[in-house]
Amino acid sequence: MESVHIGSREWEAKAQAVLPPSLIPDLAYTPEVARETAHLYERVARVIPAVEWPQFAPYVKAINDLKPVRNAVVLAHNYMTPEIYNCVADVVGDSLQLAREAAKADADVIVQCGVHFMAETSKLLNPDKRVLIPDMRAGCSLAESITGEDVRALREAYPGVPVVTYVNTSADVKAESNICCTSSNAVRVVESLGAKRVIMIPDEFLAKWVQTQTDVEIITWKGHCEVHERFTAEELHAYRESDPGVKIIAHPECPPDVIDASDFTGSTSGMIKWVEDNQPSKVLLVTECSMSDNVAVEAPNTKFVRPCNLCPHMKRITLPKILDSLIFMKEEVTVDPAVVEPARAAVERMINLNH
């Protein structure tokens, strides 16, 4: 299907093989489409120029029309582009929020708008549901930085030391772990184990930040997020010099000197809450670029400075690919049966800890 252009006759013929003709969208921006999506555009008008909306609206309508037909729910991470996050997603949030909602999903089909490890986590928590990711190539530099074999070697090097694994990992790695964490609950997870020291993998910078928040000794791994590791303290100092009133809030996947140069450090959900609670006149979010657009929708009185580091993996997820995914039920995510149970147990321990 990758070589078939959406909207072409070949695409329509393939679509008609799996859906009634009445449900095949023509993807034209008609007055009817404009009317039916007007309330959604009103929501994103601050971040999507009017000239771009006619390109998005037909896909938005088609996806929303197909969701009940497929009994599908769309989960979207905070790094999704605003037309996805605000206009077709049923559930939005950070990794922890999406993991919780995946566990409660009342649908036959879950479409994961994020990266592959998120879809794997949804499948672990919903073994009887069909989990789709619109582009199977949507990976993660953190997930690729460590393997299950690496974790087994760490356990041999540090016998008896529990392993806390960031959800940004493969199911194979989760299966070798005691418990998972996200950036929003990492400190609580580490301290919940009652151990004097823990192995925390794979994000080195997140682990170093957690070390500043707890007396538990943290053994780290040198995995990094390719988006957050590119930020520097020098560029943040430059922003402050040019605009002393700007507030800077950073994700804990950033290098330590970036965190030190920031006014607040927290997960994506924590950053959103900080903006909502503090209502700064101007703020710089030191994280993936699209998140600023999504937070701006909910914070009309705040001006967002955008140091635009994009995640190339997140940006593989687009409206056309989501539509393709719903029509053709692709790409389906599966998990190796050999790791399903221990990996699910590590994720569920994390979720149950927050109840």
* Mean pLDDT score, 322-345: 96
Question: 3-state secondary structure string, 324-339?
Answer: HHHHHCCCECCCCHHH
pLDDT at residue 1, as a whole number: 40
State how far the Cα of 162 lies from the Cα of 195, in Å rounded to an integer.
8
pLDDT at residue 354, as a whole number: 61
Residue 307 reports pLDDT greater than 80: no
pLDDT at residue 63, as a whole number: 97
pLDDT in tens, 224-248: 999 999 999 999 999 999 998 999 9
Residue 86 C-alpha from the chain's centroid: 14
Beta strands 247-250 and 264-265: pairing type?
Answer: parallel
* Mean pLDDT score, 317-326: 96
* Mean pLDDT score, 137-143: 94
| pTM of the predicted model as reported, rounded to 2 decimal places | 0.91
Q: Which run of H or E residues covers position 218?
A: strand 217-219
Average pLDDT of the chain, as a whole number = 93
Helices (H), 131-255: 148-157, 171-174, 186-192, 204-211, 233-242
Q: Which run of H or E residues covers position 119?
A: helix 116-125
Residue 299 reports pLDDT greater than 80: yes
pLDDT at residue 4, as a whole number: 67
What is the full DSSP assignment across 71-114?
TEEEEEETTS-HHHHTTT-SEEE-HHHHHHHHHH--SSEEEEES
pLDDT in tens, 35-75: 999 999 999 999 999 999 999 999 999 999 999 999 999 99
pLDDT at residue 15, as a whole number: 86
State how far the Cα of 207 lies from the Cα of 213, in Å rounded to an integer.
10
State how far the Cα of 222 lies from the Cα of 255, in Å rounded to an integer.
12
DSSP category for residue 5: P
Give the up-direction half-sphere exposure of residue 201: CA atoms within 13 A in the CB hemisphere.
27
